[in-house]
Structure 1
C-alpha cells in the first residue's frame, strides 16, 4: 500500500499485482487505498476518456441523491449497498444517517480490502457494517450474519446495485440477479440500479474496450435492457434516466456532456 517504494504490503487474500474495480475506483478519486496495478489502470482509463474522473464523481453524486430520497421521501430505514467499493466521501451510511441516524446500512463488496477500511470509517457505528461477499451469491449475502443482524427481512429495504451491473456479463444473468434480490424483499422495498449505456459515440466505445483490456469486464447495454431491471416494480419519477437528470439538486445548465450520457439508472418501488 502507498504510492512510493517497490514493495506494497497487502492484507491476506489480496494480490496487489491484480487490479480490482474497487481500488481502481479509489485511484480515480485520488484515494490512497490502491496499488501500482490499480493506478496503472486508472491512468489508462484517464488517457482513453479524460472525463472518467468526472464520471465517477457523477456516480457518487447520484448515489447521494438516491439515498437522500430513500430516507426522506420513501421512508426506507434499511439499505444493502451491493458492490459498495472502498470508502470515499459522502458514503451511503453518512448520507443516510444525516437524514436519520438509526438507518441500518450494510456494505457488500468482493474486494477483501473494503471490509476493514469501511469498518474503520464506521468506527463501531451500531447501525452500519461491511461484509466481504460476491454480490452474485444472493443467498450468501442475505444470509450473512451481519445482514441478518442489521436487516429485518419483514421491513422494507433498499437494494443499491449502482456501478455494478455493467461489470457482469450476460452469462451471469444480471436481470435474474436483480430479480432474486427483489423477490426476497417485502412490499415497499426499493431498487436503485444502473448500467453503463451502450452508444455509437467513439468515446463510449473506447471506454468499454479499455475496461475489457485492463479489467476483463465492462458490458455497456442499451436503454431497453437497462429499463428491464425494473420490470415488475413501480418506477420513481423521472424513471430510467441519465444520472444528472435524476432529482438534480439544481436546474441542469444545458445539454448533457458525452460522458454524462453513458450513465443510466433509476429507482423503483416493489408493490
Structure 2
C-alpha cells in the first residue's frame, strides 16, 4: 500500500487553472496527497496538516517510505523504456508532484536530449515550484489542471505548446488513478486521454492495491478520507482493465519492484502494494 507518487508525482486531480498567472489559494486546512508524498520522501514542502496525516499513514503502513521509492524507481525505469526502446520523444506526466531529482525530463533526456515534457498537477504549490525550476526550458511546460476533466487538460494551451498529438506520446499516470473513485469514472478518463494519442504512444501506469496486504492496511487508506482526494486501492484485474486493448510490455502488470528491476531483489523487504505496467498503443 502506498500513496501518491509525489516528489515526481502528486494526485493530479481536483484542481484547475493554468500554467501561468495567479495560482488558486493553497488549501492548508486538509492534507494534500502530493504534499504527504513529499513528506514520505523526506521533503520539506508540506504543512503540519500533511505531516500529521502522513505520520498516521506510516503508523498503519510502516513500509510506505520504501513503497514511494519503489514507485519512483519503477517510473524512471518505465521512462527509460518508452524513450529508449519505444522511441517516444514527448511525455505527458499527469500527477507530477513536487519536483525531486531526477525528474522525468532529466531521465528522458539522458537518453534522448530534447525530449519534451508537459507536467500536470492540481496543487498550486507543485505548480509554483515546478515553474520556478523550468520557466527557462522551452521543451517543458507546467500545467495546473484537473484529471477529472481530461478534455480540458488535453486542450490546455500549455500542454499543446510542447505536446504534438500527431506524434507518439508517453502518458504517465503514476500513482494517480487510485485518487479517482468509481463514481468519477476513471475508465472514461483514461479512455479520453488514450483516444487523443496516436499509434506508437505508450501508457505508463501504477496503482495502489490491497492485494498483498491484510485488512490492517485499510486503516492507512482511511487516512485519506479527510484529504483533498480519497484513496481507492483496486485489485489486479481492475487495474489491468485500465490498459484496455493496449499491448502490455513484459512482464505485464506486476508489483512495481518486479517490473524490469535493475537491482537484485531484497528477499526480506516487505510487500509493496502497488501495481505497475507499461503498454503500447498499436492502433
TM-score > 0.5, shorter chain as reference: yes
Q: How does 1:199-214 map to 2 (within 5 A)?
A: 199=211, 201-212=214-225
How far, CA to CA, are the matches of 2:229 and 2:112 in structure 1?
A: 39
State the superposition RMSD in angstroms.
1.6
2:275 aligned residue:
264
1:184 to 196, 204, 215: 196
Structure 1 residue runs of 5 or longer lacking an equivalent are 1-10
Q: TM-score, length-normalised on structure 2?
A: 0.87
How far, CA to CA, are the matches of 2:135 and 2:189 in structure 1?
A: 31
1:6 aligned residue:
none
Q: Secondary structure at the match of 2:242?
A: helix
Q: How does 1:157-176 map to 2 (within 5 A)?
A: 157-176=169-188
2:33 aligned residue:
21
Contact 1:156–1:189 (Cα < 8 Å) also in 2: yes
How far, CA to CA, are the matches of 1:115 and 1:92 in structure 2?
A: 15
1:101 aligned residue:
113
Q: How does 1:79-158 map to 2 (within 5 A)?
A: 79-158=91-170
Over 3 Å counting, the alpha-carbon distance change for 1:12 and 1:167 in structure 2 is closer
How far, CA to CA, are the matches of 1:270 and 1:111 in structure 2?
A: 30
How far, CA to CA, are the matches of 1:16 and 1:215 in structure 2?
A: 10
1:75 aligned residue:
87
How far, CA to CA, are the matches of 1:50 and 1:214 in structure 2?
A: 19
Aligned residues: 259
How far, CA to CA, are the matches of 1:37 and 1:203 in structure 2?
A: 23
Identify which range, 247-256 or 111-120, moves more after superposition.
247-256
Structure 1 residue 232 and structure 2 residue 245: aligned? yes
How far, CA to CA, are the matches of 1:216 and 1:97 in structure 2?
A: 32
Q: Secondary structure at the match of 1:130?
A: strand
Q: TM-score, length-normalised on structure 1?
A: 0.90
Structure 2 residue runs of 5 or longer lacking an equivalent are 1-22
Q: Secondary structure at the match of 2:93?
A: strand
> Structure 1 or 2: larger helix share?
1
